[in-house]
Amino acid sequence: MTSPPQEERVRWGLSGSSLGNNRDSTRQHNLSTVLGLVHSMSGVSRAQLTRATGLNRSTIAALVGELVQLGLVVESDLDQAQGFGRPSIMIQPSPGALALAVNPDIDVVSVALVSLGGRIVNPVRFHTVRPPSVAEVVNIVTAVYTGMRTSLPAGHRIMGVGLAIPGLVDPVDGTVIEAPHLGWRDQPLSALLSDALKLPVIAANDAVVGARAQATFGAGRGVCDLVYLYGGASGIGGGVISEGRLVRGATGFAGQLGHTLVRSGGARCTCGSFGCLEAEVTREELIAAVGLPAGETENLEEAVLEKLRDESASQDLRRIIDRQVQLLAAGLRSVVNLLNPSLIVMGGFLRILVRAAPEALSEALRAPATRGPRENVAIELAPLGEDPILVGAAELAFEPLILDPAGFLRPQHDDGGTPIPVP
Ligand SMILES: [Zn+2]
């Protein structure tokens, strides 16, 4: 999610334009379109760019040339996979164009560099014995980033920092309004991190950025109506793409699907209510059921599925899974009725419930007879772990670059320089 001030800045830049500016704005638009395609397709041929944009070959060549000069794309070997016709030069995202992605959670701070094209370069999971404070997150990220920078290739450029927060984030200034599982309230983490790293920092809710990553690169690419649900240590978050756009709501807090009511009079939730999805369906219950030691949650999915296969030892676990699946299905039915998505992507520990009982979930989501089978919604698994969250967090930092590649890279945005000035 680009913070509104930057969107405003771009809009202002375009509004007071003269003829020359109009030409500049067309060029900016075309550069943005080409870079966006190279980025989301993680590499594309010149011929594909020509087809996708409707621009002629010489215009595409000039735009690609400018992006090469800016260090954002590289031209590589001819694309041999095309089959018929002349081979075409491939345009790849530059591996040196990077964003720092950060995702603090109750027992781990995940940090990774992500290159343009959504490729995670060197993820680091920094485990903590208790939920980290904001100051500790700043220290951890600064130390990890300092270590990472020593091994980066010459000519790399860090575009900014994307921060994925398991909680509510003010979409204007990036303040963490509330992250209940971390015990944070009104914390200026974005500003503190920006001061420490001397980089622009853009923050958003973790499941929302995960939804964006799925819509840009993952199972949801090209899907206009998509719901992404992510289950982590800090509960269940959601992101909604409707008619191709991320649903933000009046104040940016739409998609809190973890607080969908699934059981009247159920367990108390951190939001103060009772029987919310994230209060009833928890990762902790699964961890306890398979007896995994704290800090080894990376293996939770395989541990649960392994134990389920062992018929004699798995009765308690089977009961827990069945109960969680039923409650998740109840939540999903509300989501489907409200939003009518064509695809639901499940990430984090929710993958376990899909894999353990795929029939139960799709049965629960079968469209009512009155509406016909064409409205049945598909369920897909997000990639394992925090990868979609980290890739989505990096998208926050890449978005202003892709919106205006040449403008973003003017000298004030140099890696290690001052943060982007906000008008
Ligand atoms: Zn709740």
Expressed in angstroms and rounded, the spacing between residue 178 Cα and the centre of ligand 1 is: 13
Tell me the β-bridge partners of 235: 232
Residue 185 has pLDDT above 90, yes or no: yes
* pLDDT for position 419: 44
Average pLDDT, the chain: 85
* pLDDT for position 309: 87
129 inside domain:
yes
Expressed in angstroms and rounded, the spacing between residue 288 Cα and the centre of ligand 1 is: 22
**Confidence label for 58 from pLDDT (cuts 50, 70 and 90):** very high
Helix (H, G, I), strand (E, B) or coil at 63: helix
264 to 231, 258, 260, 279, 337: CA distances (angstroms): 21, 15, 11, 12, 19
418 inside domain:
no
Expressed in angstroms and rounded, the spacing between residue 273 Cα and the centre of ligand 1 is: 5
Task: Give the predicted TM-score (pTM) of the model.
Answer: 0.82
249 inside domain:
yes
CATH number assigned to the domain comprising residue 140: 3.30.420.40
| Residues 118, 217 contacting (CB under 8 angstroms) | yes
- Min mean pLDDT across 12-26, 69-83, 152-166, 405-419 is at 12-26
- Min mean pLDDT across 73-82, 169-178, 272-281, 282-291 is at 73-82
HSE, CB side, 13 Å, CA atoms: give it for residue 221. 11
User: How many Cβ atoms are within 10 Å of 272's Cβ, its own excluded?
Assistant: 9
Expressed in angstroms and rounded, the spacing between residue 166 Cα and the centre of ligand 1 is: 14
Q: Is 313 exposed, middle or buried (0-12, 13-18, 19+ CB in 10 A)?
A: exposed
Expressed in angstroms and rounded, the spacing between residue 296 Cα and the centre of ligand 1 is: 27
Residue 39 has pLDDT above 90, yes or no: yes
Q: Which residue has the higher pLDDT, 386 or 146?
A: 146
Residue 235 has pLDDT above 60, yes or no: yes
Q: At what angle do helices 387-403 and 19-40 cross, to 10 degrees?
A: 160
State the DSSP code for 382. P
**Confidence label for 351 from pLDDT (cuts 50, 70 and 90):** very high
Expressed in angstroms and rounded, the spacing between residue 229 Cα and the centre of ligand 1 is: 15
Residues 240 and 205 in one domain: no
* Domain tally, the chain: 3
Residue 287 has pLDDT above 70, yes or no: yes
Which pair of structure tokens corresponds to residue 50? 């020509």
Helix (H, G, I), strand (E, B) or coil at 163: strand
Cα-Cα-Cα-Cα torsion 407, 409, 412, 413, nearest 10 degrees, comes to 120
The DSSP element (H or E) to which 89 belongs, if any, is strand 88-93
Expressed in angstroms and rounded, the spacing between residue 167 Cα and the centre of ligand 1 is: 12
Residue 395 has pLDDT above 80, yes or no: yes
420 inside domain:
no
Residues 111 and 89 in one domain: no
In angstroms, how far apart are the furthest CA atoms of the chain? 77
> What is the distance, to the nearest Å, from the Cα of residue 357 to the centroid of all Cα atoms in its chain?
26
Residues 174 and 292 in one domain: no
CATH number assigned to the domain comprising residue 70: 1.10.10.10
Q: Is 173 exposed, middle or buried (0-12, 13-18, 19+ CB in 10 A)?
A: middle
Residue 418 has pLDDT above 80, yes or no: no
Range of the structural domain that residue 16 is part of: 4-93
Residue 184 has pLDDT above 70, yes or no: yes
User: What mean pLDDT comes out for the span 365-384?
Assistant: 73
Residue 299 has pLDDT above 90, yes or no: no
- Min mean pLDDT across 19-33, 97-111, 135-149, 323-337 is at 19-33
Q: Distance (Å, rounded) from C-alpha 132 to C-alpha 106?
A: 7
Q: Which residue has the higher pLDDT, 146 or 12?
A: 146
* pLDDT for position 376: 74
Question: How many residues are present in the chain?
Answer: 423
314 inside domain:
yes
* pLDDT for position 5: 36
User: What mean pLDDT comes out for the span 227-255?
Assistant: 88
Expressed in angstroms and rounded, the spacing between residue 404 Cα and the centre of ligand 1 is: 39
Residues 224 and 342 in one domain: yes
> pLDDT tens digits for 71-113?
999 998 765 555 555 667 899 999 999 999 999 999 899 999 9
Expressed in angstroms and rounded, the spacing between residue 164 Cα and the centre of ligand 1 is: 20
Q: Is 108 exposed, middle or buried (0-12, 13-18, 19+ CB in 10 A)?
A: buried
What DSSP assignment string belongs to 396-419?
HHHHHHHHSHHHHTSGGG-TTSPP
422 inside domain:
no
139 inside domain:
yes
Expressed in angstroms and rounded, the spacing between residue 258 Cα and the centre of ligand 1 is: 7
Q: CA nearest 362: which of 334, 340, 333?
A: 333
User: How many Cβ atoms are within 10 Å of 290's Cβ, its own excluded?
Assistant: 19
Expressed in angstroms and rounded, the spacing between residue 26 Cα and the centre of ligand 1 is: 46
Backbone angles phi, psi at 113, to 5 degrees: -90, 135
Q: Distance (Å, rounded) from C-alpha 3 to C-alpha 204?
A: 9
Q: Which residue has the higher pLDDT, 390 or 15?
A: 390
Residues 369 and 225 in one domain: yes
Q: Which residue has the higher pLDDT, 258 or 14?
A: 258
